[in-house]
Amino acid sequence: MPDTSRFLRALGVALRERREELQLTQEAVSLRTGVPQRRIWELEAGVGNPTARTLMRLVSGLDAPCSVVIARAEQLAAEELATEREA
C-alpha cells in the first residue's frame, strides 16, 4: 500500500512552491479560489487530504494543470523516500 502521508506532504510542498512562484499569499489564493485560507494552510502543511473539487479549485487559481502539480508531488515524495532509504 502506498504511503499517502508522504504524498500528501509532497502535494502541500508542490502547492506552496507554485503559490510562491506566483508571489501570492495564502489569502490571495483563497480569494482567487474560494478555498478557505485555513484549508490552504492545512494542505500546504501536509496535514490535509484535499477533495478532487478542492484540488481542482486550487490548481485553477494557481494557473497550473493538475497533472503538473501532481507530477511535482510525486517527484518530491520519491526524493523523500530515496533520502530515507539512504539513511
Ordered domains of the chain (ranges, CATH): 4-86 (1.10.260.40)
The pTM of the full predicted model, rounded to 2 decimals, is: 0.93
pLDDT for the residue numbered 1: 56
Q: pLDDT confidence of 84, banded at 50, 70, 90?
A: confident
Output 6 or 1, whichever has higher pLDDT. 6
What are the φ/ψ torsions at residue 51 (nearest 5 degrees)? -75, 165
Res. 87 pLDDT band, cuts 50 70 90? confident
C-alpha to C-alpha distance for 38 and 48, rounded to whole angstroms = 11
Over residues 2-25, the pLDDT tens digits come to 679 999 999 999 999 999 999 999
